[in-house]
Amino acid sequence: MSVDGKIAIKVGALAKRFGDVEAVAGIDFDVREGELFGFLGPNGAGKSTTINILIGLARPDAGTIRIGGIDCSANPKAAQHLMGVVPDESNLYPELTGFDNLSFCGSLYGMTRRDREIRARELLERFGLAEAGGRKFGGYSKGMKRKLTIAAGIIHSPPILFMDEPTTGIDVASARRIRQLVADLNRGGTTIFLTTHYIEEAERLCRRIAFIVKGRIVRTDAVQDLMRRTDGRHVVQFAVSGGAAGLCESIAAEFPGIRCHAVSDTAVRVESPEPVRIGPLVRSIEDGGAEVAEARKLRPSLEDVFVEITGIEAGVMKQEREKARMGGGA
């Protein structure tokens, strides 16, 4: 991947309201050419609104947008030829075959029949869908639909790709394969703007990340630099029965140097700049009426950084992840 410092996407003071709701509140960021930029936040944070504005499906109330050097502030369609879009739902045509869907999407970008048919075959092969290419899209599994939707987004080989929650609602194996495809695309030089609420996904894929909460960007930084915040930090996660609620207050009161947050109803995570002594913590938790089933030392992750910066409990993000998985989306 070559990130040469040229700006592919530049956003300044971008704002959007829906009635009383401030969906995007004057955000600024830029994405460099060849970069895989993550836009991370919980549901309703303003990720999809931002991406919709950038791709021309929504109009901003205020702010400036430059994509590939083209000013799109007044004309949202001005840079559409430079971008590919993978929406959060697989929105191809159910009555067309996989091959015909790709070919049709290529035609929307002015590709000749020969060029788009060659490219469609190449992409079906690359995405492991060659055998399913002649079948109707409506009959595909969720994972296959997602892969074909990504293929449709890059049929015209765009230099900039917008991906909105590419792995939401699909099984683990398909999600892993899609992450590989995204990483490969970026290695091939495509600038990728990725929105996700999967923190591990962002950590694994992105070079830089912006955290967005309630329409505001609270931090933009390289993943490496964000992770530096966790250097020398020690994290232990306790699996408890009898309820995690209220445990953190008593731990924080008893152990002043330790930060604690509830990961779920049955787990709490503690962080400390010093090595964590398990025994006293276990006793404290069990004195509080809960029983410790397991204590596990963890490598500090981007999730911990996210929690620290945004103040949003990781449990909230996890619940959203589960909700998205149950509800599907692909």
**Helix residue ranges per DSSP H, 4-97:** 47-55
What is the three-class DSSP state of 269?
strand
Minimum CB separation of residue 32 from other proteins in Å reads 23
Pair type for strands 216-222 and 259-264: unpaired
Nearer to other proteins, 111 or 292 (CB): 111
Nearer to other proteins, 154 or 268 (CB): 154
Using the structure block, give the residue that is written with the tokens 């697989």.
90
Secondary structure element (H or E) that encloses residue 20, with its range: none
Pair type for strands 216-222 and 208-213: antiparallel
Q: What residues make contact with other proteins under the rule CB under 8 A?
A: 55-59, 76-77, 80-81, 83, 85, 87, 89, 91-96, 104-105, 107-112, 152
Nearer to other proteins, 23 or 290 (CB): 23
Minimum CB separation of residue 327 from other proteins in Å reads 16
Minimum CB separation of residue 91 from other proteins in Å reads 4
Nearer to other proteins, 93 or 255 (CB): 93
DSSP annotation of 99 reads H
Minimum CB separation of residue 239 from other proteins in Å reads 40
Nearer to other proteins, 80 or 191 (CB): 80
Minimum CB separation of residue 307 from other proteins in Å reads 33
Question: What is the distance between the alpha carbons of residues 327 and 321, in angstroms, rounded to a whole number?
Answer: 10
- E strands of the chain, at which residues? 7-18, 21-32, 36-40, 62-67, 70-71, 83-86, 160-164, 191-196, 208-213, 216-222, 234-241, 259-264, 267-272, 291-298
Nearer to other proteins, 76 or 315 (CB): 76
Strand partners, 217: 212
